[in-house]
Structure 1
Amino acid sequence: MASAGRSRTALATGTRSGAVYAGPAASLFRRWRVLGADLLNDRAIARALGGEVVGRGHVLAPGPGHTRPDRSMSVWINPASPERFTVHSFAGDPFGVCRDYVRNALGLPAWQDGTRISVDPAETARRSAVREKARAAAEAEALTKRQRALRIWNAAHDPRGTLVETYLRNRGLELPADLAGEVLRFHPICPWGDRTVPAMIALFRDAHTDEPTGIHRTALAHDGRKRFEGAEARKMYGGAIGAAIKLDADAEVTHGLVIGEGIETGIAARQLGIKPVWALGSVGAISTFPVLPGIGCLTVLGETDAKGANAAAIQSCGLRWVEAGRAVEIVRPRTGGDMNDIIMGGSPA
C-alpha cells in the first residue's frame, strides 16, 4: 500500500500486549473504561450474540434475523436501564424486538424497573414465538432488499461513455478501467422513490465474504452533475453495514487497507497513489467498520465537516482497531474538505 507520507497523522499506537493512547484519544479512552465497569460483561455479550467488542461496554452484533457477518445492532452496557443494557438497530429493526433478542441470547429473565419478576411458562413460549416470527420476517425482508438491489445492479451497464464518466470528469476524476462494470455502472432509469433517474451505481460487497450485499446510487442530471443536493443526492439500498464498495479487490489487500466515506474520495485517493481503497458510503459505516483479520494497518481518509461527524467516526473506528493491536493512520487534505478537493485544486464541488 502506498504511503501518504507527511500528510498522515497518527491517531494512536498500539501493540498486542497493550495500547498507548495520545491526544484526543486519551479522553475518549477514559470515558469508555467507565462504561466497562457495569453489571454485564461486554465479551460475554459479544460471544452470546456472535458479535465483537468495539469499545468498553459496547458490542456490535448481527441483528435479529441478520447473517453472522452483519453488525447492524449496537448494544451498550447501561446499569441505569431496566435490562442493564441499551440496544439500537442501524438497520431499522424494532427496538422491542432487538431488546428481547438480546435478553434471550443472554439468558436473562424478564426485568421491570430493575426488579426480577416471574414469568408464566406460557408467556415465555409466546415471547419466544414472537421473537422467532420477527427474526424470520427480518431475514426475509433483508433477502428481498438484497435481491432487489442486485436486480438494479444487473440492469445497469458499463459506465464508460455515459453520464457517469461525465460526472467524474466534472470532479477532476478519471474512470479507471478496472472499476468500469465491476464496481461502478450506469443505470439510465434507476428507481428513485416514486420516480426514475439516471444514476451512477456502485456495488457493496461484504467486508468479510466479498458477497454482493447492496448498492449505492448517485442521481445524475443530464449535464453529468449531481441531480440533487444534500441527503437526496445519494441513496443506498440492500445491505451496507459491514460492507464496502471495494475500489480495490480483496486480492489487492494484503497488510494495509485504506477506507473513506465517499466513492469520489476513494477514487481521488487512488489517483494520488494511495491504495488499496474501499469506500464505505457513509460516515456511520466508518464508525462501525469491523476489524478484519490479516490487516495490520488501517488508513482512514479524513474529511472536514461542520458537525465533526467524520472526525468522531474516525475516533470510534480507530480506537477499536488500536485495541485489537492494529496500527491506525489518518490522511487529511491540507486544503479543502476531502481528497477530491485536492484533485480539484482545493475548490469543493
Structure 2
Amino acid sequence: MVAKVTDARTASSLTLQITELSPTGEKLRRRLLAGYPKRGGVIRLWPDDAVTQGLAIGEGIETSLSVAHIFQPAWAAVDAGNLAALPVLPGIEALVIFADNDPAGINAARASARRWRDAERNVRIVAPRRHNDFNDVITEERTDAAA
C-alpha cells in the first residue's frame, strides 16, 4: 500500500509511506522514502474540499481507514509525533482524534487537542479500551463475525 504524505497546511507533497502487506493483508513493514521529510505531514484520505467543518484524524493510516467506515472525512497523521504537532487548520471547526491506546498515542492526542481547544475548536478524543488502535477493533469484529 502506498500513500502520499502532504503538508497539513499547504497540501504540498512531502514523501510517500510504503506499507508492505502479507497476502492476507497483515502489515509486514512500514517505511517512508528516505531523504524526504514527513514532519508536519498527513495522509489525506479525503480531499480538502470534502473537509468542510469536521475532520477525523488517527495516528496511522490503518486506524484512519478503519474509522472511516463510521466517520468521514478522515486523515492519518503518519505517527504520534505528527499527531501531536497537527496545526489548527482554517475552516475545520470540529476535530475527532482517534488515539492509539498507548502512552505515545494518548499523549499525542492530548497535545493536539489542547492546541485545537486553545483555538476555540471543538475536539473529542476517542481511544479503544481493549485494543491498541481502531484497526485492531475492526479486525477483531470481522474475525468474530466470520467465526
TM range (shorter): 0.7 to 0.9
Q: Distance in 2 between matches of 1:287 and 1:278?
A: 14
Q: TM-score, normalised by structure 2?
A: 0.86
Please name the residue that 2:145 is paired with.
Answer: none
From the superposition, tell whether residues 252 and 236 of structure 1 become closer, same or farther in structure 2 (CA, over 3 Å). Answer: same
Q: Secondary structure in 2 aligned to 1:318?
A: helix
Q: Distance in 1 between matches of 2:5 and 2:113?
A: 22
Say if 2:11 is the partner of 1:215.
Answer: no
| Aligned with residue 235 of structure 1, among 21, 26, 31 | 31
1:288 and 1:317 in contact (8 A); partners too = yes
2:41 and 2:78 in contact (8 A); partners too = no
Q: Secondary structure in 1 aligned to 2:68?
A: helix
Please name the residue that 1:295 is paired with.
Answer: 92
1:1-349 aligned within 5 A:
200-221=1-22, 224-227=25-28, 233-237=29-33, 238-271=36-69, 273-305=70-102, 308-345=103-140
2:9 and 2:87 in contact (8 A); partners too = no
2:87 partner letter: P
TM-aligned CA deviation for residue 223 of structure 1: 5.5
From the superposition, tell whether residues 320 and 205 of structure 1 become closer, same or farther in structure 2 (CA, over 3 Å). Answer: same
Q: TM-score, normalised by structure 1?
A: 0.38
1:286 partner letter: L
Q: Distance in 1 between matches of 2:20 and 2:139?
A: 21
Q: How many residues align?
A: 141
From the superposition, tell whether residues 346 and 312 of structure 1 become closer, same or farther in structure 2 (CA, over 3 Å). Answer: farther
Q: Distance in 1 between matches of 2:66 and 2:121?
A: 25
Q: Distance in 1 between matches of 2:100 and 2:138?
A: 14
TM-aligned CA deviation for residue 220 of structure 1: 3.2
Q: Distance in 2 between matches of 1:222 and 1:321?
A: 40
TM-aligned CA deviation for residue 333 of structure 1: 2.4
Runs of 4+ in 1 over 6 A off after TM superposition: none
Structure showing greater radius of gyration is 1
What RMSD in Å do the two structures reach over aligned CA positions?
Answer: 2.0
Q: Distance in 2 between matches of 1:304 and 1:248?
A: 24
Q: Deviations over 1:28-87 (max 9, x none)?
A: xxxxxxxxxxxxxxxxxxxxxxxxxxxxxxxxxxxxxxxxxxxxxxxxxxxxxxxxxxxx
Q: Distance in 1 between matches of 2:131 and 2:115?
A: 28
1:336 and 1:346 in contact (8 A); partners too = no
Q: Secondary structure in 2 aligned to 1:202?
A: strand
Q: For structure 2, which runs of at least 5 residues remain unmatched after alignment? A: 143-147
Structure with more helix by fraction: 1
From the superposition, tell whether residues 251 and 208 of structure 1 become closer, same or farther in structure 2 (CA, over 3 Å). Answer: same
1:302 and 1:330 in contact (8 A); partners too = yes
TM-aligned CA deviation for residue 346 of structure 1: 5.9
Q: Distance in 2 between matches of 1:290 and 1:244?
A: 11
1:241 and 1:285 in contact (8 A); partners too = yes
2:85 partner letter: T
TM-aligned CA deviation for residue 221 of structure 1: 4.1
2:2 partner letter: I
